[in-house]
Amino acid sequence: MTIKYVAEPFRIKMVETLKVLSREEREEKIKDAKYNLFNLKSEDVYIDLCTDSGTNAMSSEQWAGIMVGDESYAGSKSYFKLMEAGKDIFGYEIIQPVHQGRAAEKVLFPVLISKGKYAIANMFFDTTRAHVELAGGRAIDCVVEEAKDPTIRAPFKGNMDVEKLEATINELGKENVGLVVMTITNNSAGGQPVSVQNMRDVSAVCKKYGIPLDIDAARFSENAYFVKQREEEFKNSSIKEITREMFSYADTFSMSAKKDAIVNMGGLIGIKEDDQELYQKVKANCISNEGFTTYGGLSGRDLEALAIGLYEGQDEDFLTYRIGQLEYLAAKLDNAGIAYQAPVGGHGLFIDAKAMFPQIPYYEYPAQALAIELYKEAGIRTSEIGSYMMGNDPDTGEQLEAQFEFTRLAVPRRVYTQAHFDIMADALIAIKDRADSIKGYRIAWQPMILRHFQAHLEPIV
Ligand code: F0G
């Protein structure tokens, strides 16, 4: 099946020139980078799919906003503009800017989670898990079973397994569960959406046991778009109506604005009710960690661009084009028999490297091998989400085996065109054609924690 590429609902006014290295030069660069893509200079990358976070192209309206941003320390005009946008879109009483998503987690989570308490999510993103643990808590994932099989095409693979959630609360004792988190879309499961019905069911369980519900809202607009496409009840609703409905079931949200709010830096915390007691605690953490409440670690111009970007990310024509790009690439991979977390998610394509390289065991990092091949083949930078990222057992030092060996092609917003997507597909197909000859990697050096950012690798010959 071929699907049509949804044409860009914008035209290009400013360009950033890219350099294309030869294959020999790329082989040299990746060797010098110790086969770690984080060590590459961005100027040596042709198509950068390392992340969709903070890598988006701002609009002319946002750049115009940058010029009128109010840099006052207290009471900035841009802050009030952002407050209005946040309240309008989410329907929340209190909105607090912070500098990025993990800052929202750092400010909010210690207020909600105390030492020894559990937090349960559909799936935690790495930094959300880290901030639960830094607050003294323990993090548990309860995603639906179908998320764990890349070949099962279900509409809402990001959902919480509600029965498992309730059973886990009963097992741990409701007094020991400090927080439930719904990550929309579910990044770790492949950018898979969560349905409004699932949100309602999770909210009902939280209310029954008196546990607060937080939304990790990085890709909330993409999630709303999937709801409109796939959940019958919402097929005639606007993206804004769906967003309001989704957020009405939670108590708070923490958000990285570097994704769906189409800015390069920013984050938000939202509190639904006018809960001054909670807000005071958030304010205290924000002032000591991020900055005074009316700027929260951002420049006035960032607040202004964010207020505009929140609306642009909700635009249905934009979302149709955005998800359309991923669906276009996915259809090409279907034709070529390349397996990925299906159906394709909102912000990226997660290639099943275990299926592509059955000869490479998890401890020789098949998804890292694919990431390296993609760079060598076409100058494409991706990231590994598998055993290499997972690391070693802290007790035994043994390599852990991840559930998936994914190579993630995360797509920045409004940055790459159809021709770039064709290059991605062609590169993957070329690699698949010589998949038998690809070998794995071993680690030559690794730091103690978060090793994937820094480790040195060498090819197994
Ligand atoms: N929550 C989710 C679901 C995320 O995907 C991210 C970041 C964060 C929180 C943290 O936000 O980076 O602004 O501090 N995800 C990026 C990624 C880094 O590449 O998936 P941040």
DSSP of 12-72, one letter per residue?
--S--------HHHHHHHHHHTTT-GGGS-GGG-SEE-S-SSS-PPPPHHHHHHHHH----
Ligand 1 test: best mutation among 56, 127, 265, most atoms within 8 Å of CB? Answer: 127
Q: Quick one: which atom of ligand 1 is closest to the CA of 258?
A: 13
Tell me the per-residue pLDDT of 22-80, one tens digit each, with 9 for 90 and over: 999 999 999 999 999 999 999 999 999 999 999 999 999 999 999 999 999 999 999 99
Q: Which band of pLDDT confidence, cut at 50, 70 and 90, is reported for residue 98? A: very high
Which of 201, 216, 251, 302 is an active site residue? 216
Domains 23-52+315-459 and 60-312 equal at CATH topology level: no
| pTM summary value | 0.97
To the nearest whole number, what is the mean pLDDT of the chain? Answer: 97
| Rounded-to-integer distance, Cα 7 and Cα 184, Å | 26
Residue 326 in this model has a pLDDT that exceeds 80: yes
Q: What percent of the chain has pLDDT over 90?
A: 95
**Residue 181 has what pLDDT?**
98
**Residue 254 has what pLDDT?**
98
Q: Give how far Cα 236 sits from Cα of 28, 151, 226, 228, 315, Å.
A: 53, 30, 13, 7, 15
CATH top-level class of 60-312 = alpha beta
Q: What percent of the chain has pLDDT over 70?
A: 100
Q: Which of 376, 333, 325, 377 has the alpha carbon at shortest distance from 355?
A: 333
Alpha helical stretches, state H, 231-365: 239-248, 276-289, 300-312, 316-336, 353-356
| Rounded-to-integer distance, Cα 95 and Cα 14, Å | 32
Tell me the per-residue pLDDT of 222-235, one tens digit each, with 9 for 90 and over: 999 999 999 999 99
Question: Quick one: which H or E segment has residue 254?
Answer: strand 252-256
CB 217 within 8 A of CB 236: no
23-52+315-459 architecture in CATH? Alpha-Beta Complex (3.90)
Q: Would you list the domain boundaries of the chain?
A: 23-52+315-459, 60-312
Tell me the per-residue pLDDT of 374-418, one tens digit each, with 9 for 90 and over: 999 999 999 999 999 999 888 898 999 998 999 999 999 999 999
Which of 103, 147, 218, 353 is an active site residue? 218
**Residue 449 has what pLDDT?**
78
| Rounded-to-integer distance, Cα 121 and Cα 178, Å | 11
352 in catalytic set:
no
How many angstroms separate the alpha carbon of residue 195 from the centre of ligand 1?
21
